[in-house]
Amino acid sequence: GEDVEQSLFLSVREGDSSVINCTYTDSSSTYLYWYKQEPGAGLQLLTYIFSNMDMKQDQRLTVLLNKKDKHLSLRIADTQTGDSAIYFCAESIGSNYQLIWGAGTKLIIKP
Amino acid sequence: GAVVSQHPSWVICKSGTSVKIECRSLDFQATTMFWYRQFPKQSLMLMATSNEGSKATYEQGVEKDKFLINHASLTLSTLTVTSAHPEDSSFYICSARQPVEANVLTFGAGSRLTVL
């Protein structure tokens, strides 16, 4: 069945770049998403990419999509303490945009 | 942008009681809302799809009689945890599709349920 996988933790130093990786299995996905969840809060959409694109940039965020390898990444430049959160990768499949979620990557910022 | 409000943000109840959580779309109509449960190890589980004016669609393994979902209007869906037990303690999050970008979900802030 469909599956989305991502590492559970990533630790980076403040000011460095963070790269959060995600792999998925369904090649028919239409969109791929990154959501951010701060402690005790709901999920906030960070960005999404259409499946026929390979890159999308939005200020400090860069999303790279490798369709051949079914690999999605989120790069956060100049990581700040406010970036501490859980980052969820998700793909949508089908005409009703059914979402398949990864388990979330907890980003830990070291001073 | 589209805003989803969830209430209460946290609730503590005694075992055996029922708890209702509300999810409202504030500035748009949502014919479909989604209820998620988040476990301590952070993974999200889709519990059910709430459909306005009809029965909710539950995911496999989710007890319909335990988690009652009602979507009586285009802006309100409710999740009632009936006869709650400590194992029902969790973070419940609702979401709705944005009216303009249907491929994007907007989430509520979540409700932390603790059953004593």
pLDDT digits (tens, 9 = 90+) for A78-102: 999 999 999 999 999 887 788 899 9
The full 3-state SS of chain A, as one line of letters, equals: CCCEEECCEEEEECCCCEEEEEEECCCCCCEEEEEEECCCCCEEEEEEEECCCCEEEECCEEEEEECCCCEEEEEECCCCHHHCEEEEEEEEECCCCEEEECCCEEEEEEC
**What number of C-beta contacts closer than 8 Å exist between A and B?**
47
**pLDDT tens-digit map of B47-98:** 999 988 889 999 999 999 999 999 989 999 999 999 999 999 999 999 998 8
Nearest alpha carbon to residue A5 among A32, A17, A23, A26: A23
Residue A65 class from Cβ within 10 Å (0-12 exposed, 13-18 middle, 19+ buried)? buried
Query: Taking CA B77 as the corner, what is the angle to CA B75 and CA B82, rounded to the nearest 5 degrees?
Result: 160
CA distance B107 to chain A (A): 6
CA distance A75 to chain B (A): 21
Nearest residue on chain A to B10, judged by CA atoms? A40
Query: Taking CA B74 as the corner, what is the angle to CA B71 and CA B77, rounded to the nearest 5 degrees?
Result: 30
CA distance A43 to chain B (A): 6
Question: Is B100 within 8 Å of chain A by CB?
Answer: no
Question: Is B104 within 8 Å of chain A by CB?
Answer: yes
- The residues facing A76 across adjacent strands are A18, A61
Query: What token pair was written down for A109?
Result: 């910022």
Measured CA to CA in angstroms, residue B37 lies from B40, B79, B110 at distances of: 10, 11, 9
pLDDT grade for B15, boundaries at 50, 70 and 90: very high
Question: Is B103 within 8 Å of chain A by CB?
Answer: yes
In the prediction, which pLDDT does A1 show? 64
Are the beta carbons of A31 and B41 separated by less than 8 Å? Answer: no
Query: Taking CA B42 as the corner, what is the angle to CA B57 and CA A69, rounded to the nearest 5 degrees?
Result: 85
DSSP-derived 3-state class of residue B88: helix
Percent of chain A past pLDDT 70, that is, above it, reads: 99
In the predicted model, what is the mean pLDDT of chain B?
Answer: 93
Distance CA B93, CA A76 (A): 26
Interface mutation vs chain A, best among B104, B111, B113, most A CBs within 10 Å: B104
